[in-house]
Structures are given as C-alpha cells and as structure tokens.
Structure 1
Amino acid sequence: MLNIADTLHRWCRDARPFALATVVEVRGSAPLPVGTSVAVDEDGNAVGSISGGCVEGAVHELCRQVLHDQGAPQRAWFGYSDDDAFAVGLTCGGELDVLVQRVDPATRPHLTTALADVVEGRPAAVAQIVEGPEELLGGTLYVDAAGGTRHGPLTGALRREIGAQAFALLRAGRTARAEVGGDAGTCPERLSVLVHVHASRPRMLIFGAIDFASALSRAGRFLGHHVTVCDARPVFATAARFPHADEIVVDWPHRYLERTSVDVRTAVCVLTHDARFDIPLLRVALTLPVGYIGAMGSRRTHDERLRLLSEAGATEDQLARLRSPIGLDLGARTPEETAISITAEIIAHTNQGTGLPLSHLSGPIHRDGVPAP
C-alpha cells in the first residue's frame, strides 16, 4: 500500500473510505512485487496498479463491490490461462493472490499516522493480516522507527509478536510476509502478516575519490542509494568532482567507517588502490554487519590484499565476504561501464541472483529479494 501513500494519506486525512486491493502473494513471473496496491474510493477514483494493466479492470470492479457491500475482505486469484491468454489473467505467466478490503479511515487513525510518516520520508512499517480468522483478516498495525506500535486493533501477546516481526523487517528495509500465532500464548490460529515497509535509502559508501568513484556515485544515486564518497585527500574529495554524491567526507577511510552508521543494506565499495588505505579499511569493514563489501584491483592486488588482511587478523569467514576484484565480468573498461559492473554485482548479491543471462536459466524471472547475510 505504501506505493500509493500520497493519495491514501490524503483520503485518510479527508476521512474518505476506500477499497484497498493488495498483492499478498506472487507465484511465477509477475510484473509487480508483494505489497503493491490499488485503491478505489466511493466515487470510483482509482490509484495504483498491481499488474501493469492486465487485470486492473477486474480488480477495480472487485474494489467497487467490496466498498459498496461493506462486508468482509475478499481474496481473488489471477493467473495465466492456457486456453485464452487474453482473458482476465497475467499474460506474463505469473499468478497473483490479491486481498481486497474496505478501509474506513475514521476507525483506523493509526493508518493515517503511518501514511503521514511515509509521505514525510520517515521510516515506517504497516503490518496487515492477510491470512487468518475472518474477524482479524485485513487488520493493520503501525510500527514506527523506534519499534513502537500505535493504535492498532490488536492487543496483548499477538500485538507484541506482530510488532516485533514488523520492526525486524523495518530494520532490514524489506517488505515481506511473516508467520505468527499458532499457540495459546498469542493466537491459537496461525496468521500470515504482510509487513509493508518504508525505510530510509540504503547506503553506498565509496572509498577513494577517483574517476571510477564519480561514475559509481552517479549509478548508486540512480539506484536509490544514499551515496557517501570518502577520501583522506581534500584536493580530490570535493563536491565539484562528485556532484551526484549525497555526502563528501574528508577523512581516513577506516576512521570514518568506524564511526558512521551501517546496516545489512549498506554497500561498501573500496576503490582506493592503496594498501595504506585498503587494509585498515577492509579490516574494519569485514567485522561490520554490512550487506556487500567489494574492493577494486587486479588479481595480483587481490592476492596480496588477502595476505595482508590475514596477517592483520582477518579470519577465513571474514575474507570470504570480500568481493574482489569488485564487480561482475561484463568486459567493462570505462569508469561508467565499471560502475554498471559493480552495481550489477550489488543487485545480484542483495537479491541472491546468479548474475547469469536470463536466457541461460529456467524458472521464474522474479524472486523475493532478501538481504544478504
């Protein structure tokens, strides 16, 4: 639902009821991920898309029906039809499970608060029950950046468990489903909860103010990262040379990395090409819970780097986390091509992709991305 937060916030602020259709499960290849929503108000105005166009008409009609009947939430399934690829279904070959529910903002003030946080750029998570007892289906709970739950209809142990699951996904920056309940202490019935997450931009830390770093900062910014360029040499680390970076830091790389905040979505890209900077920096990076660590250099440089890191105390498990030489084998030569090579590896690593051509693989094209350990 957070893909249409601006409009939903306005409707909630105006106390305007609406029907919300949300993709709660995807099987096979589908154009949009779990958590994507369409909403329809009482005047028939629609916002959002869940399939890129091929089932929107059917979803719109179902939303109008649910909104008019004011009944319980409904589930709908849309899939590819071998008999008629142009019937209501996904011609891309995937399958979507969609939950459609009526939302009355007057009874869900916590949803207005959550959407306001999203619109204003603050981290937020909305947990939505998508499978479970009818009286709980469609229920929502808001979790803020500090892990607090606000004004959701759930109470007691169930609220605490859902809140904990939502907060964990918020810290990971990932929209996903979580299973809760199934015991006397929380809820006798097993529940499936879809946690919609709006998180701060993942960080890309680029060390080494060289031409390759300039191209990489531009690519990282394009992909939605908060980009920091760090170098100990003030003559090179300037805003004029790195206009696409969100932050320029003049400091020794390892010293900056020791004091800055990182998480499992952070990408550390070491382009310094100098063991004086590389080794202390990588020694710190390999101990941190970041998602990606890559270092530029030849294979000879890599072998020497491993030797020096081992002498500095790095373990085999830590060294196994290092992506060096950095990037995928795209035959890249220019700074711009190298930036694509590096960001392609970050994407593949984050989403557990193979990096192989899709034409050489079988099975679903899209998969649920999970933060790499």
Structure 2
Amino acid sequence: MVATTPLDILNFLAARAEEGIDCTLITLVAVIGGSSRGVGAQMAVAADGRRIGSFSGGCVEDAVAREAIDSLDEGWGHVVRYGVGSPYIDIRLPCGGGIDLLFTPRPDPAAIKQALRLLEDRHQAALRIECDKVALVRSAEQAAWDGRALTHCYQPPLKVHAFGQGEDLTAFCRLAKAFGTKVHALSPESETCRELEADDIGTTFLHSRNVLPLAAVDPWSAIVFLFHGRDWEEGLLPQTLALPAFYHGAIGSRRTHAARLEALRGAGVSEDRIAKLRGHIGLIPATRDPATLAISVLGEIIVEYNALASWTYWTGTPLETEAAQ
C-alpha cells in the first residue's frame, strides 16, 4: 500500500476497539483557501498515541494528535480551525489556507464494524458523524457539514480484472497490487499465472476463448484487456461488456480499436454496450515497454475511479448493486 486509505482508518478504529483502546476520529469538514486534502479526509488517533492518516505534509499532524487525545480526556467533540483564522497562531499551512477539523471522541465501534462489513461485501457505506457520536446511515448519500453533523460515504476499494499474457500483464498486476488495488489476473498462460501467484496476486487460468470465468463484477471494478492480439478478445470481450464495471478498456492502436468495434457490431453487441468500451487506453500517448504501459493504463483507471467517487460525493447518488438494496 502506497499510502493510507479511508478503509485503513476504519480498520484502525476497529482494531483499537478490539484492544479496548479509545480513539478519536478527526474529519476535515471545511477548507478555506487552499489545502492539500479535500473535505472528508480523515485521521484517527488512539489514546496510546498511535495514529493514522494526515491532513498536510506534516505541518499540523502533531497538533491534531494532541488535540485528539485531549478530546478523549475531556469527553466531548468539537471543531478546530488550523491555518488562516486559527487561534493557534504558531501553526500555519504551507498552502496559506485553513482547514476546519471535527474531533469525534470514541466513535461507536458497532457502527464502524457495520461499515466495514458493507465495504467487504463491495457495497458503499455511509456514516453520520457528529461531535459526540458516529452512526451508520442506511442510504449512502453524502451530506456536507451543517454545523452539527455530516454524512460521509466510503466506497469499496478499487478492483481490477486484468486479461492478458506475458510481461504486459505481470507488470500491470504487480504495479496495481503495490498501489493497493485489488487485482485479479486472467491469462491463458500457465507460466504467467504461476508468476503472479508467487507474488500473491489472484489469478484465473483461461481455458477457453469463449467461456468467461468471471461471474460477479460490481460497479466499483474495472475490466481491462492487455492482449496484443485479438484472438482472446473476440469471444470474451462481448461477455465482459455485459458486466456492470465502471471501466472497460483494451489496449491497441486506433486502427486496432476501430477493427475491434466493427467485430463487436458483427457479433451483435448493442451500441450501448459498445459505447462503454475504451480503446487506445492510457494517460501516456505512446508506450513502448511493459512498465510504462502499466503506469499509463493504471493511471487512467484510477482517474476514472476517483471521478466516480467524486460524482457520488457531490450528487449524493448511491452506486449500489441490487443485492445491497
């Protein structure tokens, strides 16, 4: 894992509760001017001094930790301004802005565990966070801080189902795993599968060009084809386009992608489904080695995943499967 995620913070709170150690949950509820973190960013601090998360490059975290432990001693939550307009004149943010942080001591462990169970089942979870309590909200709609409470949504971690073979697939999967993505490799090469399994990456061996061994895909998952030839795409790609992933992509030149689209039309795939497929994918216009290809494609997927989370945040629209409802 490259850096702390919202899921890590919830797991930290749950783990400390199991140990019988009180914690304070801190949530960024407002930004004045510039800030390196956005509204909804969080940090957790335990009574024994352990902490997770951040709000800057190290400028305020020590002060926040002290305030969090004081909140446990005082037994009540509150909002504190850091940076511009703060009573702590010796603490300044390098961006010149200010942030308002909500300190919530002793968040309900039951609510945290319920949220974690939903996320483990690949559903969104929402917590209503106040000064003195945290509660699970059944409808995952984000609500901004109103001076009394906010509702914060947590989305399931990014998962990628990557089809391919050889070094293009292994480079992508290793990079995705290092980033913290839940990655699943599907390949017709047994040696490639063995290499990835040795790196503790989940794999599925593709026995057939026409049988898709992928039953459950949720709206927080991406599907990417990393084959340089189209033999393995022809039977499998139309089936994956019927799955509810937020991202469908396949590598190849613009000419290759045009031929791919025509093949899909010839196979009777609807235009709605064809429109979901991205071609000539990646943030880097041209790549000539597996490592750069991996960075380029994973970067694009992460941009789309973050945009999906942002869209849900600002519209308050839950992206849930029928099973979650």
- So what's the TM-score if we normalise by structure 2? 0.75
Note if 1:292 corresponds to 2:239.
no
In structure 2, runs of 5+ residues without a counterpart are 1-5, 314-318, 320-325
Q: What is aligned with 2:172?
A: 216
SS of match in other structure, 2:44: strand
Aligned length: 302
**Hey, what does 2:65 align to over in structure 1?**
60
Aligned mate of 1:78, from 62, 78, 82: 82
1:349 correspondence with 2:304: yes
2:287 corresponds to 1:332:
yes
1:135-173 CA-to-partner distances (Å, cap 9, x unmatched) read xx442234xxxxxxxxxxxxxxxxxxx21327xxxxxxx
Question: 1:262 offset after TM fit, Å?
Answer: 0.9
Aligned to 1:216, the other structure's residue is in SS state helix
Task: Name the CA shift for 1:239/1:32 in 2 (closer, same or farther; >3 Å).
Answer: farther
Check conservation: 2:225, 2:249, Cα contact below 8 A: yes
Q: Give yes or no for the alignment of 1:141 onto 2:135.
A: yes
Match in the other structure for 2:104: 101
Cα distance, 1:40 vs structure 2? 4.6
Question: Would you say the 8 A contact 2:283–2:297 is kept in 1?
Answer: yes
- Return the structure number with greater relative CO, CA threshold 8 A, min gap 6: 2
Larger Rg: 1
User: Residues 93 and 260 of structure 1: is their aligned pair in 2 closer, same or farther, counting only changes over 3 Å?
Assistant: farther
Kindly state the Cα deviation for residue 334 of structure 1 after the two structures are TM-superposed. Answer: 0.9
Identity level (%) = 26
Alpha-carbon distance, 1:128 to partner: 3.8
Equivalent residue letter for 1:140:
V
* Residue type of the alignment partner of 1:68: D
TM superposition shift of 1:55 = 1.6
8 Å CA contact retained: 1:214, 1:242: no
- Larger deviation, residues 21-30 vs 218-227: 21-30
Q: Compared with structure 1, are the counterparts of its residues 253 and 269 closer, same or farther at alpha carbon in structure 2 (3 Å cutoff)?
A: farther
The 1:113–1:314 alpha-carbon spacing in structure 2 relative to 1, beyond 3 Å, is closer
Q: Which residue of 2 aligns with 1:34?
A: 40
Tell me what 2:140 maps to.
165
Paired residues of 1:230 and 1:253 also in contact (CA < 8 A): no
Q: CA deviation at 1:88?
A: 1.6
Structure-2 change in CA distance of 1:268 and 1:18 (3 Å): closer
Deviation at 1:318, TM superposition (A): 2.6
2:148 counterpart of 1:193 = no
Preserved CA contact (<8 Å) 1:295 1:323: yes
* Inter-CA distance 19–340: structure 2 relative to 1 (3 Å threshold): closer
Q: Among residues 280, 284, 305, which one is paired with 2:260 in the alignment?
A: 305
Q: CA RMSD in A?
A: 3.8
Give, in angstroms, the shift of residue 31 of structure 1. Answer: 4.4
Tell me: CA distance 1:254–1:37, structure 2 relative to 1, closer, same or farther (3 Å): farther
Distance in 2 between residues matched to 1:3 and 1:52, nearest whole Å: 19
2:95 is the alignment partner of 1:92: yes
**Cα 1:111/1:313, change in 2 over 3 Å:** same
Q: Give how far 1:305 is off.
A: 1.0
Q: Distance in 2 between matches of 1:66 and 1:196?
A: 25
Shift of the 266–17 alpha-carbon distance from structure 1 to 2, 3 Å rule, reads: closer
Give the distance between the partners of 1:122 and 1:306, measured in 2 at CA: 34
Question: 1:252 deviation in Å?
Answer: 2.8
Q: Alpha carbons of 1:221 and 1:236: their partners in 2 closer, same or farther (altered >3 Å)?
A: same
Deviation at 1:99, TM superposition (A): 0.8
Output one character per residue of 1:197-234: Cα deviation in whole Å (capped at 9) or x when no partner: 6x4x5332222213211211211222222322223x45
The letter for the 2-side match of 1:99 is L
1:190 offset after TM fit, Å? 9.3
Question: Residues 246 and 125 (structure 1 numbering): CA distance in 2 closer, same or farther, change over 3 Å?
Answer: same
Aligned-pair CA distance for 1:370: 5.5
Gaps of 5+ in 1: 132-136, 143-161, 167-176, 183-188, 354-366
TM-score of the pair, normalised by structure 1: 0.66
Give how far 1:291 is off: 1.7
